[in-house]
Structure 1
Amino acid sequence: MQVKTNKTVFGILIAVSMVHLLNDTIQSIVPAIFPIIKESLSLSYSQLGLIAFALNLTASVLQPAVGLYSDRKPQPYLLPLGVVATLIGVIGMAFAFGFWTMLGSAILVGIGSSIFHPESAKVAYLAAGARRGLAQSIFQVGGNAGQALAPIMTALIFVPLGQFGIIWFTLLAALALGIQMYTAKWYSSKLRVNTVKKRDHSSKGKAVTNRGKVTAAISILVLILTSKMAYLAGITSFYSFYLIERFQLSVQEAQLCVFAFLAAGAAGTFFGGPLSDRWGRRNVIWFSILGALPFAFLLPYVNFQISIVFCIIIGFTIMSSGSVNVVYAQELLPGNIGTVSGLFFGLAFGAGGLGAALLGMLADSTSIDYVIKLCAFLPLLGLLAIFLPSDRKLAEWAKEADDRQSAPN
C-alpha cells in the first residue's frame, strides 16, 4: 500500500486543535482565578506575580528543550504524558491551601503545556500534507479560542463557584487525555512509515548550505514575534484598565473590548494559514504588520464604540500571521520541526509574560494612558520583515538541499 504523503489528515488536525483549545483554556484559568485566590488564600500581588511568572517561565523555557529532545528521539506518548501533568496541576489548584501548593500546581500546568506545544506542532506538520499553512492555522486557532475564554470563565465560573470551581476543569483534562492517546497512536504509526523513508532520504541537514541566511531569517522572525507578543500582552493585560479609566466603564464593559480583540485574533489565525498557502508566507506576514499599524496608532484616541471595531481589526490582522511565522520557520529548518516549534511557542509565552511584567512596572511609574500609547509603537519592529527571504527563495533553498542529498556520494 502506497502512503499518500501529500494528503492532509483533517481528523488528526482537528484532534490536536481540540486539545490545544482544552490546554490553553486550562492554562488561562491560572491568571483568571487570581481575583479569587487573592482572597481565598490571602495572597499578595507579589505572590500572584510569582505564580504567573513561574507558569510562563516553565511553559516557555522547557518547550525548545522538549522539541530538541523529540527531534532526536521522537516519543509519541509524551503527548498524553503532558496532559497527565496538566491534570494533576488542575486538581492541585482546586485543593491548594496556600501559596506554595498553588505555585507547584501552576508549574505542573506549565510543564504539561511545554510538552504539548512542540509535540503537537510536529503532529500538525506531519498531518499537513501540502497544506502546511492551513494545518498550522487549524492547530493554533484552538489555542487562541482557549485564551479568549478567560474573561468569560472569570465571570461565569470563578466568581460564583470560587477556587474549587477549578475542579470542573479536570473533565477537560480527561477529555484531552483521551484525544491525545488517539493522536499518539497515529503519530507512532506515522513515525514507523517515515523511518523506512529516512534510510534513503533524510530531511536532516536541509538548508545547511545557507546556514548564515537561515540564521538571519530566524533572528528576524524572533524579533517580529517578540514585538507582537509584547503588544498582545499590553492589550490583553492593560487595555481594559485604560478603558475603565478613560470612559468610566464597568469591568464587564471593558472586558468586551478585550474579548473582541482575542476572538478576532482567533479568526485571523484560522484564515491566515490558508491564505499563506495561496499568496505566500511573507506576504501574509506583511499584511499582518501593515494592516494593524494604522489602527494600533489610532486606538488610544477613539471613543469606546470605535475602539471595539478597531480591536477587531487589529486582532484579526496582527494574528493572521500567528501560524504563518511558525510554518515559515519550520520550512527554514525542516529537519528540526520540534525544536523550531518549541522555540517559537516558548518564545510566545516568555515574551508575553515578560512584556506584561515590564509594561506593568512602567504603568506604575507613569500611567496606563502612557503604556497604551507606547504599545502602538511595538508592531513597528515587524517592518524588519523586509529582510526576510521570499517564498521563492525558500523553495530554491529547499531544492538545493534536496539535490545535494540525492547526489551520489
Structure 2
Amino acid sequence: MSWTKPIVLLAVGHSCVDVYQGAVAALVPFFVAERDYGYAAASGIVLAASLLSSVAQPVFGALTDRWAMPWLLPVSTVLGGVGVALSGVTGSYALTLAFVAVSGLGVAAYHPESARVARLVSGPGHTGMSWFSLGGNVGFALAPVLVAAALAAGGLRFTPLLVLPAIVGSVLCLPVLRALGSRAPARSGRADAAGTDDIASFLRLSAAVVFRSIVFVGLSAFVSLYAQERTGGGVAAGGAALFLLYLGGAVGTVLGGRLANRWDRVTVVRRSYLLTVGAVAGVVFVPGPAVYVFVALTSAGLYVPFSLQITLGQDYLPTRVGTASGVTLGLTVSVGGLASPLVGTLADHTSLRTALAPLIAMPVLSWLAIRTLREPG
C-alpha cells in the first residue's frame, strides 16, 4: 500500500480533530460577548481544554507503547467533537468547563496513536509526517471559520452543529485501520523499535516544545481580542487574526518538511525559533493592520519545527514512540494552556498588550533549549 492515500486520509482526519483545539479559542469571543466573561474566566475555558489533555497525552502515549490501539482514532475523534458541541448549550460555567475538558480528553487520546500510525504508514523521510501535521494545522485554521459560520445565526446555542467534523473524521480513518489490519496484526512501538533512547536530548527537545506551546496557545486565546483592540475592528477583525495564526501554521509545516530535506532537522528548528522572536515582537508592538502580517509570520515560524519535533522526539526515544508522540505532539497545544490563565489575569490587572509582551521571550528559551542538540543517528 502506497503511503500517499493513507496519509491523506489521516491528514484529513487530523484536521477534523484539531478543529476542536482551534474551536475552543474561537469560541472565547462568543463567551465574552454573550456571558460577560472577563479575561481570566475566558482563559479558564482554554485551560479546561488543555489541562486534561496535557496530563493525558503522555499517558495515552505510554499505553500505545505497550499495546497498539488504532480503535482510539475514531472513538477519540467523536469524543473531541461532542465536548465542544455541548459547550455552548448550557449557561453554567462549571458545565462549560466540563464539556470542554471532555473534548480535551478526546484530543489527548487521538494524537499519540495517530502519530504512531502516521509514522508507520509514511515510512522514512519527513514528507509523510509533514503532510499529516499539515492536516492538523488546516483544522486549526478552519476552526474560526466553522465556528463563525455555525454560530452566526443564533450564537452559542448552535454549537451542536460543530459535531459534524468529528463524524466525518471518524469515518475517514476507518479505511486506514482496515488496511493496517489486513497487513498484519498491529504491534506496539516498543516491540518494533530498534535503537537506544537518548533521554537527555529528548528532555531538552521537550522543553523547547513547552516554551513554543506557551506562546502559541497564549496568542490563540487572546490574539482575536487583541487584533480588535489594535485595529479598532469588530469580531470579524479578530476572527481574521485567529484565522491567520492557524493558516500560517499550514505554510510553516510544509516549509519545515522541505527545509529538513535540505538541512538537518535540528538546524531548521533552531533557526526558526530565532526568526520567530522578531515576529512575536511585531504582534505585540506594531499597531494597526500591520499586526496581521506579524501574526502570519509568527504562525509560520512556530510551525516550521512542528512535524520535525515529532520525528525528532520519536528518533530520540526509538523504544517509546508513543510516549515521544504524546509529549512532542501533545504538549505543543496543551501545556501552553496552563499558562494562559496567568496571561488573562495579568491582562485584567494591566492591559492585554502588557500581558502578551512576555511571550516574546518564549522562542528565545526554545532556541536555548536546543542550541547544542545533535541530529539523532
TM-score interval, smaller chain: 0.7 to 0.9
Matched, 1:265 2:249: yes
Q: CA shift at 1:266, angstroms?
A: 1.6
Q: Unpaired segments of 5 or more residues in structure 1?
A: 1-6, 209-213, 396-409
- In structure 2, the CA distance between the partners of 1:8 and 1:333, relative to structure 1 (3 Å rule), is farther
1:52-201 mapped onto 2 (5 Å cutoff):
52-89=46-83, 92-93=86-87, 95-96=89-90, 98-131=92-125, 133-192=126-185
Aligned length: 375
Kindly tell me: are residues 353 and 185 of structure 1, through their superposed partners in 2, closer, same or farther at Cα, counting changes over 3 Å? same
Q: Secondary structure at the match of 1:160?
A: coil
Rounded to whole Å, the distance in 2 between the matches of 1:189 and 1:333 is: 28
Residue 207 (str. 1) matches residue 196 (str. 2):
yes
Distance 1:180 1:227, change over 3 A: same
1:387 maps to 2:372: yes
Identify if the C-alpha distance between structure 1 residues 78 and 305 changes in structure 2 by more than 3 Å, giving closer, same or farther: closer
User: What is the aligned partner in structure 2 of residue 20 from structure 1?
Assistant: 14
8 Å Cα contact 1:32/1:153 also seen in 2:
no
Q: Do the aligned residues in 2 keep the contact of 1:80 with 1:184 (CA within 8 Å)?
A: no
Report the AA paired with residue 372 of structure 2. Answer: F
% identity of equivalent residues: 27
Partner of 1:306: 290
**C-alpha distance in structure 2 between counterparts of 1:150 and 1:371, whole Å:** 25
Deviation of the 1:259 alpha carbon: 2.3
Residue in 2 that maps onto 1:402: none
Following superposition, the deviation at residue 62 of structure 1 comes to 1.0
Does the Cα contact within 8 Å between 2:112 and 2:326 map onto a contact in 1?
A: yes
Counterpart mapping for 1:363-374 below 5 A: 363-374=347-358
**Structure 2: gaps of 5 or more residues:** none
Quote how far apart the aligned CAs of 1:155 are.
3.1
Corresponding position of 1:407 = none
- Distance change (3 Å), C-alpha of 1:159 and 1:35: farther
TM-score (norm: length of structure 1): 0.82
The question of whether the paired residues in 2 share the 8 Å contact of 1:291 and 1:318 is answered with no
CA deviation map 1:115-165 (0-9, x unaligned): 11111101110012122x222211111111212223323433213232342
Q: Which amino acid aligns with 1:22?
A: C
Task: Give the whole-Å Cα distance in 2 for the aligned partners of 1:191 and 1:352.
Answer: 38
In structure 1, C-alpha distance between the alignment counterparts of 2:32 and 2:358, rounded to whole Å: 30
Compared with structure 1, are the counterparts of its residues 82 and 255 closer, same or farther at alpha carbon in structure 2 (3 Å cutoff)?
closer
Aligned-residue offset at 1:21:
0.9
Residue range with higher mean Cα deviation, 241-250 or 158-167? 241-250
Q: Give the aligned partner of residue 332 of structure 1.
A: 316
Deviation at 1:388, TM superposition (A): 0.5
**1:204–1:293 distance in 2 versus 1, CA, 3 Å:** same
- Residues 287 and 317, structure 1, Cα contact 8 Å, conserved in 2: no
| Residue in 2 that maps onto 1:222 | 206
Give the Cα–Cα distance (whole angstroms) in 2 for the partners of residues 173 and 252 of structure 1: 25
Residues 191, 72 of structure 1: CA spacing in aligned structure 2 closer, same or farther, 3 A cutoff? farther
Alpha-carbon distance in structure 2 between the residues aligned to 1:44 and 1:310: 28
Aligned CA distance change for structure 1 residues 325 and 315 (closer, same or farther; 3 Å): same
CA displacement at 1:232 relative to structure 2: 1.4
Aligned 8 A contact 2:62 2:320 in 1: yes
Counterpart of 1:33? 27
- In structure 2, give the amino acid aligned to 1:74: A
Contact 2:150 2:161 in 1 (8 A): no
- Equivalent-residue separation in structure 2 for 1:296 and 1:95 (angstroms): 35
Task: Assess, with a 3 A threshold, how the Cα gap between structure 1 residues 221 and 159 changes in structure 2: closer, same or farther.
Answer: same
Shift of 1:324: 0.5
Contact 1:8 1:130 survives alignment (8 Å): no
Change (3 A) 1:182 1:101: farther
Conserved? CA contact 2:13–2:172, under 8 Å: yes
Q: Give 3-state SS (helix, strand or coil) of 1:74's partner.
A: coil
Q: Which moved more, 1:118-127 or 1:94-103?
A: 94-103
**Secondary structure at the counterpart of residue 340 of structure 1:** helix
Q: Partner of 2:233: helix, strand, or coil?
A: coil
Amino acid at match of 2:373: L
Query: Which residue is equivalent to 1:355?
Result: 339
Matching residue's letter, 2:371 = I
Query: C-alpha deviations, 1:281-338, integer Å up to 9, x for none?
Result: 1121023112222333344443434332232222212211111111111111122111
Residues 106 and 307 (structure 1 numbering): CA distance in 2 closer, same or farther, change over 3 Å?
Answer: closer
Supply the distance in 2 between the matched residues of 1:191 and 1:205 (Cα, whole angstroms): 19
Moved more, 281-290 or 87-96: 87-96
Q: Which deviates more from structure 2 when the two are superposed, residues 144-153 or residues 220-229? A: 144-153
Structure 1 segment 3-18 matched on structure 2, within 5 A: 9-18=3-12
Does the aligned pair in 1 maintain the 2:86–2:160 contact within 8 Å?
no
CA displacement, residues 207-249 of structure 1 (integer Å, 9 cap, x when unaligned): 15xxxxx222112111211111111123233344444444433
Q: 1:22 to 1:290 in 2, by over 3 A?
A: same
Q: What does the per-residue CA deviation read over 1:363-390, in whole Å, with 9 as the maximum and x for residues that have no partner? A: 223322223332222211122222201x
> Using a 3 Å threshold, how does the CA distance of structure 1 residues 157 and 10 change in structure 2: closer, same or farther?
same
